[in-house]
Structure 1
Amino acid sequence: MKLLEVAVIPGDGIGKEVVPAALEVLNAAADVHGGISFRFDSFPWSCDYYEQHGKMMPEDGLQTLQNFEAVFLGAVGDPARVPDHVSLWGLLIKIRREFQQVINIRPAKYFRGLSSPLLRPNDFDLLVVRENSEGEYSEIGGRLHKGDDEIAIQNAVFTRKGTERAMRYAFDLARKRRGHLTSATKSNGIVYSMPFWDEVFKDVHKDYPDVQTTSTHIDALAAFFVTKPQVFDVVVASNLFGDILTDIGAAIMGGIGIAPAANINLNGKYPSMFEPVHGSAPDIYGLGIANPIGQIWTAKMMLDHFGYLELGQHLLDVVESVTYDGIKTKDIGGSATTREVTSEIIRRLQK
């Protein structure tokens, strides 16, 4: 029996509702598999914790998390109490950066049972690989002067190492899927970083002659996600471009509440972290109507990361069958509660 030790951070708002639901599903999936079990250790780091302690996590929080095989995160943020830049940089981004989680992966697919806003959604199934450590989200810059002369400078930083790392990861995934990789660029308008991005992409492609490639400007690519998402297989993008594209991906699926994500550490020194794309939605917290699918699909990605690909696919198939049969929460056109959706997924898993 393989024991998988996972640190759990429910976080804020509906994270405290959907994370326990996903843990129940993971335990049920482990029972079905028979060869694995989980040990979950939960940590209350959140905006509640910040109001009590003046920080989002204790000083030794990262040292504590480092001992686990993965981090399972719910949602971070409650802007009415704690500014977003404080809550995110004090917990979510802090873990991403200091645990060297340099790759972010977010899938989007036509999900049976969901009403896509697209007129002809076809059968799209794409995966965005987002560079997760630098780019437009670097911490280099500052503010100078006050009043009419105030200046804000935010520097985008692209290293060959970070750029190539993300691209090689994306090429490897494309080889395992349908053999096509799209690069998100903007080299016609951003005159230094994006031509550099294009050059690295061409260089890396030489090592993957079996993978077909396309480079598409981000504005056109965003439009194509809406007009013809079915043509995409794997997309590799910078930190900012990947962030924007994956929210579009969630939207065309039919709701951001079902979208999952993984933050991957490649060197094995630190655990990877798994989190849904959705936010904490404090306005519906406690009503029992939060959509658990995003968190459960995130759990599927964690199973994939641990090497249990068949079990992960079985779980996603079960979730999709539940939505197809109309058992879904209000945000995606149903009337079921968080508890009802979760219980039905578990029932079908066990069946």
Structure 2
Amino acid sequence: MVSNDGPVNPTRATTPESTPIGLLVGDGIGHEIVPAAQRIADAAVSAVGGTPVTWVPLDVGLDAIGTHGTPMPESTLVALAELDGWVLGPHDSASYPEPFRGQLTPGGTIRKRFDLFANIRPARAFAGVRAVSPEMDLVIVRENTEGFYADRNMFTGSGEFMPTPDVAMAVGVVTRRASERIAHAAFELASRRRGRVTVVHKANVLALTTGLFRDVCHEVGEQYPGVEVRSEHVDAMAAHLVRRGEEFDVVVTENMFGDILSDLAGELSGSLGTAPSLNASETKAMAQAAHGAAPDIAGRNRANPTAMILSTAMLFEWLSGRGGDPALGQAAERIQLAVANTLEAGVATADLGGLASTAEFAETVTARVLRR
């Protein structure tokens, strides 16, 4: 079934002739998992009779350093501005030569340029995949633009600084505006799911910053009388996810807490290799799997494409929900069901204990997507 795991803000319809989507392969295993997701997405659109996707390949990452002298060419950003959605593969910025290694990552640059304020990260257990929390089915809604991450909380410069060589300091930023819009995204999502939101904070210690976040979320919650809301301290929430993760529906939190909790939830539900992610604003969205570029297995046909496939399905849902081709939502449903059935049948890559290669897993999912 379609999970509706993304904020829906209809503003501009996709053209009926085709659906243009940016395609940024990225680094490492991106060269394997992004094409796999692309083929499966095309098969799903064809199976439901939707308008075809026009993929727009764009340079990014290590390849772009070779061709453009930078991992994030301005020409790519200009092209992205003309698109409603795009798929971004993982980046391996640690392998970039200086001075690029220490700069903002390609994903971070895109996120800041287009104000992708909502990071939507589902954590769902699949039959056939061993999980600590086999009944988990939740979504973490992470505020993506401020908080305590140094690359996200300043207009210019960094939120980290050193007044002396022996003292390092960091600035955290929480605003009412950012808290309100991420809270609306969470409550709208919960109203389409099981109707429960958990606000995660640390107001017993960070009383002004995360206290403001907590209070604004509760204020927004009053506009959604059909949604139950509760609060948890982040440390308690981590324990609750381990002990009774199946009880949670939508979890909304600030940037750093959301990053940590979503990785934890991904592992508890099975693996980060099955954890999709969508970064969205009110007008644009980017599918980007939660895991990294895994350079140690790149090019060996061993990577798990599940998270990238499901992230692309999330993008289809988002595009469909905001006035695009309704068939994209149907295609997303086919993709999600095909992935679930494939895993349940025991077809999985090595990281999940299976024997399938990247290509074999993708071929099996494609065949299931095309079944009438």
Equivalent in the alignment of 1:144: 162
Question: Which range is displaced more, 43-52 or 314-323?
Answer: 43-52
Contact in 2 for aligned 1:303/1:312 (Cα 8 Å): yes
Q: 1:84 to 1:134 in 2, by over 3 A?
A: farther
The yes-or-no answer on 1:290 pairing with 2:306 is: no
The offset of 1:229, in angstroms, is 0.8
Equivalent in the alignment of 2:10: none
Contact in 2 for aligned 1:262/1:272 (Cα 8 Å): yes
Cα distance between partner residues in 1 of 2:145 and 2:35: 29
User: What is the correspondence of 1:1-351 to structure 2 with a 5 Å cutoff?
Assistant: 2-50=17-65, 53-82=68-97, 86=101, 89-116=104-131, 118=132, 121-137=133-149, 138-139=153-154, 140-147=158-165, 150-266=166-282, 268=283, 271-307=284-320, 308-351=328-371
Cα distance between partner residues in 1 of 2:98 and 2:267: 25
Given residue 175 of structure 1, which amino acid in structure 2 is its aligned partner? S
Q: 1:196 to 1:170 in 2, by over 3 A?
A: same
The offset of 1:145, in angstroms, is 4.5
Cα distance between partner residues in 2 of 1:55 and 1:173: 37
The offset of 1:85, in angstroms, is 8.1
Q: What fraction of aligned residue pairs are identical, expressed as a percent?
A: 33
The offset of 1:235, in angstroms, is 0.5
Given residue 199 of structure 2, which amino acid in structure 1 is its aligned partner? S
Cα distance between partner residues in 1 of 2:124 and 2:98: 33
Given residue 350 of structure 1, which amino acid in structure 2 is its aligned partner? L
Given residue 289 of structure 2, which amino acid in structure 1 is its aligned partner? P
Q: 1:236 to 1:82 in 2, by over 3 A?
A: farther
Given residue 111 of structure 1, which amino acid in structure 2 is its aligned partner? F
Q: Deviations over 1:192-222 (max 9, x none)?
A: 1022112212211221222111100001101
Structure 1: 5+ residue stretches without partners: none
Question: Which range is displaced more, 88-97 or 288-297?
Answer: 88-97
Cα distance between partner residues in 2 of 1:332 and 1:325: 13
Cα distance between partner residues in 1 of 2:96 and 2:71: 13
Q: 1:142 to 1:247 in 2, by over 3 A?
A: closer
TM-score by length of 1: 0.93
Question: Which range is displaced more, 82-91 or 294-303?
Answer: 82-91
Contact in 2 for aligned 1:171/1:181 (Cα 8 Å): yes
Q: Which has the higher contact order (CA 8 A, sep 6+)?
A: 2
Cα distance between partner residues in 1 of 2:247 and 2:56: 41
The offset of 1:52, in angstroms, is 5.7
Contact in 2 for aligned 1:78/1:84 (Cα 8 Å): no
The offset of 1:310, in angstroms, is 3.3
Contact in 2 for aligned 1:47/1:87 (Cα 8 Å): no
Alignment root-mean-square deviation, CA: 1.8
The offset of 1:141, in angstroms, is 3.1
Cα distance between partner residues in 2 of 1:318 and 1:83: 42
Secondary structure at 1:236 match in 2: strand
Q: 1:88 to 1:276 in 2, by over 3 A?
A: farther
Contact in 1 for aligned 2:218/2:229 (Cα 8 Å): no
Aligned pairs, how many? 343
Structure (1/2) with the larger strand percentage: 1
Contact in 1 for aligned 2:199/2:232 (Cα 8 Å): yes
Q: 1:87 to 1:145 in 2, by over 3 A?
A: closer
Structure 2: 5+ residue stretches without partners: 1-15, 321-327
The offset of 1:169, in angstroms, is 1.0
Given residue 306 of structure 2, which amino acid in structure 1 is its aligned partner? I
The offset of 1:32, in angstroms, is 0.4
